[in-house]
Chain A
Amino acid sequence: MYQALLTRRYLTRRIMPLLSALAVCLSTAMVLTTWSVMGGFLQVLLDSGKTFVGDVKIHQPSRGMQHYDKLIESLEADPQVARATPVVETFGVLSLPGDVTKPIQVLGIEPESYNAVTGYYDTLHWRALEKPSKHDPDQTDPRLHPPTPENQDRADRLELTWPKILENGMNLRRIDPRTLEHVPAMVPGIEVSGHVNQRQPGGWYLPQPLVDNPVDIFDWYTMPSHPRAKITLRVLPLTDSGHAVEMASRIMPVANEFRTGNYVFDNNLTIVPLALLQDMMHMDAAERVIGRGGIEIDPQTGKERIVPPRTVVEPARVNTVLVSAAPGVAVNDLRDRVQEIYDAFAIENRMPDASVQTWEQINAGFIGAVKKEIALVLVLFTFISITAVFLVLSIFWSMVNEKTRDIGILRSLGASRAGIAWLWLRYGLVIGLVGSALGGLLSYVIVRNINPIHEWLGSAFNVVVWDPKVYYFTEIPNKVDPTTMMIVLAGGVLASALGALVPSLRAAFMDPVRALRYE
C-alpha cells in the first residue's frame, strides 16, 4: 500500500524519475523506430520479391520449354494451382528518346494470364486519378486532368484518354497515329525513362511539360502520349547451345508505364508482348531446317537429283512459366507439386530439367543478407539501449542515496526488506511503463510520418537519407508492427526494472539505524 502511494508521489514530485522515464522513452523509440523501418524494409522486400514472379517460377534458360501450353494446362488442372502464365525472359538494350541507351531486362508476357498470376494491371501507372494525393494539393499530377473539350475528339481518336491508355497498357498495344491501327507496344518501368518522368517528393511523377501551364495530356511529354516517344529494343537471340545469332531490333511505341515501388524493377525492366519477343528471340513456332540438303543418285533412274534440306515445324517456346497458388495453398507445397507436374511433362515431351523455385528461393541470397543486416542493426541498437539500463541504474542509485532516510523511516515503521525492495522495483517498473509507453507513442508518430519528415529534411536541409537508388524502394516503410511494438515496449519495461534492481536490493539491505542517521 505504502509502495503505491510513495511511487505515485516520487513519480509526480521529482525531476529524476522523469529523466529516467525520458531515457527509457528515447531508447524504446530508437529501437522501435529502427526495427519498424528495417522490418518494414524487409517486408516490402519480401512482398516485392513476388512482384512479376508469382508464387513459383519454372525456368529453363537454355533450350526453353516447347509445348508450354500443355504444361500450363496440366498446371491449371491441379487444385493447388490458381493460374499459370508463359513468359520469355531475356536481356536487351533500349535506345530511348534523347539518345539515352540502357541495358534492360525484357519480359515477354501474355497480359491476361500474366495479370492473373502477378497482378500486373495494378502496377500500370498512367490511368485516370479521381482524387489528388494528399501531398499534391495543387493537383499537378497529370492523371487528374482529362482532355479539354477542344482536345476531346483528338484524344479519342488517338486513344490518349487515361482510360484508353490504361486499357492499352493492359493489352500491350497502341494506336499508330498514321494508320490509326493498333500496333504492339511496350510497357517499361516508370524509372526507365527517368529523364522524362521526374518523381516528386509526394510520390507521383511529373513528365516534361510542353507548355508553360499544362492542362491536359497533350501539354505533357509522357511516354505513352508523345508521337516521338518511341523506343528501340534490341535483344540477342541464342541458339540451343548458347551461341548468339544476329541481333534483333524493333522500334516500338510505349503503351503505358508500370510502377511497382521497387526501384530495381521500375528502373531495369520492360514488358513487351510475348509473341513479339518470341519472334525476336527465334522462339516462335516456325519451320526450321534441321539438316543439310544435297545431291543424291535416284535409285530408280540412276540419275542425280537435288535433295532439299530436312525441315521440321518446331512449336513456340518460352523459358519461364510463372505459377500462382490457389487460396490457402502454402508456397512450398505448391513448389513441390509444380515440380512433380513439370517432371511428368518433361518426360512426356523430352524436355530438359528446369529449376522450380518459390519466389523466396529465387531471392534467398538477397533476403538472407537483408535479414542478417537487420539482425545486426538491431543487436547494435539493443546494445546501445543497454546504456538505458545503466542510466536508470545510476539515477536510481542516486535516488536511493537521496531517499536513504525515507528507507530508515519505513524500516522503523516495520517495513520489511522485501517491502523496501518492491517499493524501488515497482518504481522502476512504473518508470519503465511510462517511458516505454511514451517511447512507443513517439516512435509510432515518427514511423507513420517518416516520409513527410524525410521530405522536410530534404527541402529544409537538402538531406536525402533514403535514396531510392540505394534502398530499392521509392518510399520509406512506415508501418509499426503490433507484435514488434509489444516486444520493444516489454523490453523497455524490463530494462528499467533491471536498472532498478541493484539499487532496490541496496535499499532493502540498508542498515536502518545508519539510514536514519544519514545526512
Chain B
Amino acid sequence: MTAPILQAKNVHKTYRLGRVDVPVLHDASMQVHPGEWVAILGASGSGKSTLMHLLGGLDRPDPKKGSVVYEGRDLAQMSARELDQYRASAVGFVFQSYHLLPELNVLENVLSGAMVRYGRFGYAARKSTLRSRGEGLLDAMGLAHRLGHRPVELSGGERQRVAIARSLINEPAVLLADEPTGNLDQKTGDAILDAVEKLRDRGGEDAAKQTIVMVTHSREVAKRADRLVELVDGRVRSGSEAAGVS
C-alpha cells in the first residue's frame, strides 16, 4: 500500500466555552491514502467536523497533543503563509451549508479559489486556462447554463454543485467534504454524490482518482466510500479505521 497522503496522529482537541473546557477529540488517529474515498461517520457532536477542520488546516490540535501530517509534513510546523498555501492548493473544502459568496455569480464563486491561490498577477496570467477549467467543472456538474447566476437564484443542490466545482478548481490533492448532502433531500443528495463520483473518475481508468475525505452522519452515504472511520464521542471507534465499509 502507498504511504498515506494525509494522516491524523493521536490528535486531541478541546474547545473552551466560557470557563469550561469541552473536549471534542480524544487521541483520534486516521490515515488517508492517495486515491481513497474515506468516510468519517459519526453522530452529531462526535467531533467529525472538528477532525475535518484539523485535516484541512483550518484549526490546530491541542498543543503537543497529536499532529496532522500532510505528505510527511506536520501542519503544526508550517508557517501561517505555508498553511494558507496548504489550504489553497492541497485541499479543497465542501461544506454542508455550501458557503458560497453571495455577491459573486456561479463562475466567479468557482474561480474565487483560484483568485486566492494565484493572487492578482498569477491569476491574470492563467485567467483563460482557469476560466476554461471552471466552466468545464460546472459543465460536468450540469451547471453550464448557470454561469452568470448568483447563489440566491440557485436551488440547494445546484449551490452544492457549485461548491464542489469551487473546491476542485485548484486541483487539490484531497477533497474535504463536510456533510455535503446534509441539507439536501435524498434524491438531490444522491445526485450530488453521483456527480462527485463522476468527477472522481473523470481522469479515466489509468488516471489517479481524486482523494476524498467525507464527513457524514449517514451510513447510506458512507457506503459510497472506500473506507470508513467512525467517531464516537470524539474517539475513533476501535477497528473502524482499518476496516472497509460494510
A residues contacting B by CB (< 8 A) are 1-2, 4-6, 9-10, 13, 405-406, 408-417, 419, 512-513, 516
16 more contacts with CB within 8 A, not counting A409-B100, A413-B113, are: A1-B115, A1-B116, A1-B119, A1-B124, A2-B116, A9-B103, A405-B99, A406-B102, A410-B116, A414-B85, A414-B89, A415-B88, A416-B81, A416-B84, A417-B80, A516-B95
Of B103, B108, B115, B120, which contacts A13 at CB under 8 A? B103
Known: A2-B116, A416-B84, A419-B116. A513 touches B53 (CB 8 A): yes
Interface of B (DSSP majority class): helix
Cα of A489 to Cα of B115 in the assembled complex, Å: 32
Q: Is the beta-carbon distance between B103 and A513 smaller than 8 angstroms?
A: no
Contacts of A419 in B (CB 8 A): 116
Nearest opposing residue in chain B for A409, CB measure: B99
The distance from the CB of A476 to the nearest CB of chain B, in whole angstroms, is 45
The A-contacting residues of B in range 98-141, CB under 8 angstroms, are 99-104, 108, 112-113, 115-120, 123-124
Cα of A21 to Cα of B5 in the assembled complex, Å: 49
B37 interfacial contact with A, CB 8 Å:
no
Cα of A415 to Cα of B117 in the assembled complex, Å: 8
Interchain pairs with CB closer than 8 A, number: 73
Nearest opposing residue in chain B for A9, CB measure: B103
The distance from the CB of A156 to the nearest CB of chain B, in whole angstroms, is 80
Contacts of A409 in B (CB 8 A): 99-101
The distance from the CB of A410 to the nearest CB of chain B, in whole angstroms, is 7
Contacts of A13 in B (CB 8 A): 103
1/0 per residue, CB under 8 A from A, across B165-185: the answer is 010000000000000000000
Task: In the A-B complex, list the 8 residue pairs whose CB atoms are closest, starting with the nearest.
Answer: A414-B88, A9-B103, A2-B115, A414-B87, A1-B115, A1-B120, A413-B116, A416-B84
Cα of A1 to Cα of B104 in the assembled complex, Å: 13
Q: Is the beta-carbon distance between B112 and A2 smaller than 8 angstroms?
A: yes
The A-contacting residues of B in range 70-100, CB under 8 angstroms, are 80-81, 84-89, 93, 95, 99-100
Contacts of B99 in A (CB 8 A): 405, 408-409, 412, 516
Of A9, A414, A417, A516, which contacts B116 at CB under 8 A? A414
Nearest opposing residue in chain B for A515, CB measure: B58
Nearest opposing residue in chain A for B93, CB measure: A412
Nearest opposing residue in chain A for B119, CB measure: A1
The A-contacting residues of B in range 137-181, CB under 8 angstroms, are 166
Q: Is the beta-carbon distance between A413 and B120 smaller than 8 angstroms?
A: no
Known: A1-B124, A13-B103. A411 touches B58 (CB 8 A): yes
Q: Is the beta-carbon distance between A513 and B123 smaller than 8 angstroms?
A: no
